[in-house]
Amino acid sequence: MHKGKHPFEESTDSEAGNAGFGASPDEAEFRIEPGPLRRRLTPRDIARNAGAAALFNRVIPGLPIDADPPETRQEAEPFSALIERTLKRLNIAESPWLDELAQAWPRLVPPEVAQVSRPGKWDNGILYIYVASSPKLFELRRSWLKRIELAVRAFAGDDRVKHVRLMVNAVPLPFGNK
């Protein structure tokens, strides 16, 4: 048996779901305020607060207010930007663009380079390219490093990749041709 109200007991208007019909909402219900979890407002929060102020400057008394008014809607933000910002805030050195680079690798570099190398890790603006063996690393460094850097910077941008370094892959992983 459960404890609670008697099923036939009288209820007030607020319990019956009629709460809020008599009172008109105010701007505070639509604003984002700093609190214990959010100490500083972001530019998106400031823009939302400005939209809420604009909304309540045009409110006509007696008319209902939309629950999701266009003035307070925020622009969509790409998931990749959210993920990268979260990873950066948590000091995690992974990046979603590295997976995209690995998929595009055979199209970015010549086939003879793609067969013996692959993007490895990205740390503090340095992209490490794993190479199958030491002789191949020497050959790539001597003949292809500048072209690899240009291709990677064209793909990822100059601000993301400062240097490209070649490393011998310590753990044998499958490359294009074995």
Q: Coil, strand or helix: which one is 12? A: coil
Please state the domain count of the chain: 2
50 and 104 in a single domain? The answer is no
50 and 102 in a single domain? The answer is no
Query: Would residue 82 count as lying in a domain?
Result: no
- Confidence (pLDDT) at 27: 81
- Confidence (pLDDT) at 8: 60
Distance between CA 30 and CA 49 in Å, rounded?
7
Query: Would residue 63 count as lying in a domain?
Result: yes
104 and 164 in a single domain? The answer is yes
Domain, as residue range, for 67 = 28-72
Tell me the per-residue pLDDT of 7-23, one tens digit each, with 9 for 90 and over: 666 555 444 444 445 56
**125: alpha, beta or left, given left = phi > 0 and alpha = psi -120 to 50?**
left
Q: Examine the fold and report which residue of 39, 72, 105 is the final residue of a domain before the chain moves on.
A: 72
Cross-strand partners of 178: none
pLDDT band of residue 28 (cuts 50, 70, 90) is confident
Tell me the per-residue pLDDT of 46-77, one tens digit each, with 9 for 90 and over: 888 888 888 888 888 777 887 778 877 777 87
Query: Would residue 111 count as lying in a domain?
Result: yes
101 and 54 in a single domain? The answer is no
Give the CATH number of the domain where residue 135 resides.
3.30.300.180
Max mean pLDDT among 1-5, 63-67, 104-108, 168-172 falls in: 104-108
Cβ proximity of 122 and 93 under 8 Å: yes
State the Cα torsion 50-51-53-56 to the nearest 10°: 180
56 and 107 in a single domain? The answer is no
Query: Would residue 47 count as lying in a domain?
Result: yes
Query: Would residue 57 count as lying in a domain?
Result: yes
From 102, 139, 106, 137, select the one nearest 122 (Cα to Cα).
Answer: 102
Between 5 and 178, whose confidence is greater? Answer: 5
